[in-house]
Chain A
Amino acid sequence: MERPDKAIQSASADAEALRVQRLREDAQRSLSENLSEGIALSHKLLRFTGAALKN
C-alpha cells in the first residue's frame, strides 16, 4: 500500500498536471471567448462580495 505522504504527493502532482492542462486548453481559445468568461466571473464575484458587504 502507498504511504500516506506519497499518496498526498501523487495527488498533488495530479492536480497540478490537471491545472496546467486546463490552462493550456483555455489559452487555445479565442481572446474574445476568454474575455467574456472572465468578465462573467468577475461580475458574479463582485455581486457576491457586494451582497456580503450589505449584510
Chain B
Amino acid sequence: MSEPAFDELLRRLTKAEVEFVVVGGLALNAWGIVRGTKDVDVVIATDPDNIKRVAEVAVDAGGRVQQGEALLGTPFSIAAALAGGEQVAIETDLGRLDVVQGLDGVPSFEDLRSRAIEAEILGSKVWICSREDLRAMKQAAGRTRDLADIEDLDASDG
C-alpha cells in the first residue's frame, strides 16, 4: 500500500457504479463507534457485471490477491476469485478491500441493501449496513473484538 485512502477507494467504487454495502469497521465508524480499522469491508452484488466492475476498480488501484502460491493481479483473475463465492482480500495501493462473502451470519447483498442507510464520502454516496445488521454480523463473528464492538453499539443506543 503506498498511502491508505479508504475514502478514495469508496469513491472509485461508487464512480464505477459498483453495487456494494459497507460493513465491518467502517460501518461501525459510521454508526458512531470511531476506532481504527485496517481494511474496507464490503458486501457486493454477485452478478457477473458487478463482479467485473469491482475487479476493474481494484486492478486500477494496483490491486492483487494472494491465493495460495499465486498472486492474482488481472481483472479476469480477480473476478474469477470473487465469483468463487469465498471471502477475497484485495490489497490495493489505497488500502485493503475485503469482499465479505460465503461467511455464516452475513446476509445477502440484497437483504443488506434493502435496510442500508446512505452516507456521503468525498461527495459520493455509499450505503452503510443498518445498525441491526451490523450488530447481527458482529454477533455471528463472535471474536473478542466483535463482542466489544457490540457492547459499544448497545451503549451508544441509549
The answer to whether A and B come from one shared complex is yes
Given contacts A27-B156, A30-B119, A31-B128, contact A36 B33 (CB under 8 A): no
Q: Shortest beta-carbon distance, B88 to chain A, in Å?
A: 20
A-chain residues with CB within 8 Å of residue B158 when the two chains form the complex? 20, 24
A-chain residues with CB within 8 Å of residue B28 when the two chains form the complex? 38
Say whether B35 contacts A41, CB under 8 Å. yes
B-chain residues with CB within 8 Å of residue A46 when the two chains form the complex? 1, 4, 36, 38, 95
Secondary structure at the B interface, as helix, strand, loop or mixed, is: mixed
Given contacts A32-B119, A50-B1, contact A38 B25 (CB under 8 A): yes
Given contacts A32-B119, A43-B5, contact A26 B33 (CB under 8 A): yes
Q: Bin chain A's interface residue count.
A: 20 to 34
Say whether A36 contacts B157, CB under 8 Å. no
Say whether B37 contacts A42, CB under 8 Å. yes
Separation of A20 and B29 alpha carbons in the complex (Å)? 15
Say whether A47 contacts B4, CB under 8 Å. yes
Query: Is the CB of B31 closer than 8 A to any CB of chain A?
Result: yes
Say whether B7 contacts A26, CB under 8 Å. no
Say whether A27 contacts B121, CB under 8 Å. no
Query: Is the CB of A52 closer than 8 A to any CB of chain B?
Result: no
Considering the complex, which residues of chain B in the window 49-108 have a beta carbon less than 8 Å from any beta carbon of chain A? 95
Contact partner of B36 among A30, A32, A41, CB < 8 A?
A41
B-chain residues with CB within 8 Å of residue A50 when the two chains form the complex? 1
Considering the complex, which residues of chain A in the window 2-52 have a beta carbon less than 8 Å from any beta carbon of chain B? 19-20, 23-24, 26-32, 34-39, 41-47, 50
Given contacts A26-B156, A39-B121, A42-B37, contact A34 B31 (CB under 8 A): yes
Instruction: Pick 5 A–B contacts, CB within 8 A, sort by A.
Output: A32-B121, A34-B29, A34-B31, A43-B5, A43-B6
